[in-house]
Amino acid sequence: MKITPLQNWLAHKLGVSGSSLNRETLEQYQLQKLRQTMELAVQHSSFYRKKLGGRGTLANLASLKDLPFTTAADIRQNPLRFLCVSQDEISRVVTLTSSGTTGEPKRLYFTKQDQELTIDFFQIGMSTLVGPGDTVLILLPGQLPGSVGDLLAQGLARLGVRAIPHGLLTDPNQTRQIILEQGVNALVGIPTQVLALARYPLPLKSVLLSADYVPRAISRELAQSWGCQVFSHYGMTEMGLGGGVECAALAGYHLREADLYFEIINPDTGQVVPEGETGEVVFTTLTRRGMPLIRYRTGDLARFIPEPCPCGSMLRRMGQVKGRVAGTCQLAGGRLRLWELDEALFPVTGLLNFTVTLSRTNHRDRLTIVVQMADGMNGSMQEVVRAALDTVPTIQRATRQGSLEICLEILPRGGALQSTTAKRLIKHL
């Protein structure tokens, strides 16, 4: 098994060979970059000048835990306070609408240099999946310059790979025809979108599922349907899109440690958790100039994997994201997590996507689940979906106690496919 190409990429940035790269050398580099980032932010960002001014130089990486967090609410209030360059130097502005029912949008600002770092990471990360002569269909927004699909296409071009920016999936059959006509042998897309293509036999050698959270049930279904390798990528716009990607071992995300420093914290106390424990992912940018972020709380739940990767790399790995801090709900039978529903429902044949809403009425919890099925499915799916839901222990206990009512709606077959990059959550009414 080949070692992740990210190791040699990182070693090159540090001026050492891949075989001689070790944690001590990497952490010295990260500490230096953290100090530079703090200096840049305090000098040029009015937000960080007020928040971090007078704290002095970081003594070591461990002292980062003493700094305050940056939150999504901070960015929403006034994103221009974060800028460390003039607006003339900004080449891309991304507006993210709130994943909740209320809230101002977030605006993220990137310089051309910031975006070049993302292209560089995409190029190296994708080299595990594809090589010269391959053709990749990108099922992500890519029409605008600087969009995720555009940056990924630029990274792939540097590998000698033909990239076709497609945009979000709306008509699976039409996309299938494009794949066959254009000789596509690799896909990049959002998990629930790529799943809509799984019932078509396609000549694919690799798939990259890109999102903050990738359900394992979807990865298994795609691998079985197409007989290909299915990789996962972790990232978000706030990170500069790229955060970490799996190697050939498919055993966790190798993190983008050249450009980002990661921590895992207890979401309730804010304290860094022991290595290997699950908590909220926090990151600090190391090389971003336009809008650096220091100790940004992502809201994602994951853990560092302390064991070495089978590929032999010394790079830190993060395990599968287990959903969102806000993506859970409390039932009488315990706490219900979205990833539990994912692992129960996505193996159902023909199920493409679903939404979950929790409400309370007459002193009972009501879980409303709207399921989207593939066109052409035969028979009623109510019993099949309800049986799958009953395998979730929390739901099973609550329904047995009579404290939970499940309202299940199966969308009409052949309905429009949901096209969105928004984070999936359990909604509360």
Same domain for 336 and 293: no
C-beta atoms surrounding 131 within 10 Å: 11
Q: How many structural domains is the chain composed of?
A: 2
Same domain for 200 and 114: yes
* End-of-domain residue from the set 262, 296, 325: 325
**From CA 171, how far away is CA 187, in angstroms rounded?**
16
Pairing of strands 206-211, 186-189: parallel
Same domain for 284 and 254: yes
Same domain for 368 and 288: no
For residue range 102-141, list pLDDT tens digits in order: 467 899 999 999 999 999 999 999 999 999 999 999 999 9
Please give the structure tokens belonging to residue 398. 């609550």
**From CA 359, how far away is CA 357, in angstroms rounded?**
7
> Phi/psi of residue 181, each to 5°?
-70, -35
Helix (H) or strand (E) holding 156: helix 148-157
- Assign 424 to helix, strand or coil: coil
**From CA 404, how far away is CA 339, in angstroms rounded?**
19
CB 43 within 8 Å of CB 292: no
> Phi/psi of residue 201, each to 5°?
-70, 120
Share of residues in the chain with pLDDT > 90 (%):
76
Cβ-based burial of 315 (10 A; exposed 0-12, middle 13-18, buried ≥19): buried
Beta bridge partners of 351: 373
Which pLDDT value is given to residue 101? 42
Same domain for 187 and 66: yes
Q: Which amino acid is at 152?
A: L
- Assign 139 to helix, strand or coil: strand
For residue range 48-85, list pLDDT tens digits in order: 999 998 888 899 999 999 999 999 999 999 999 999 99
- DSSP annotation of 20 reads G
| Domain interval for residue 421 | 328-428
pTM: 0.92
HSE-CB of 351 using CA atoms within 13 angstroms = 27
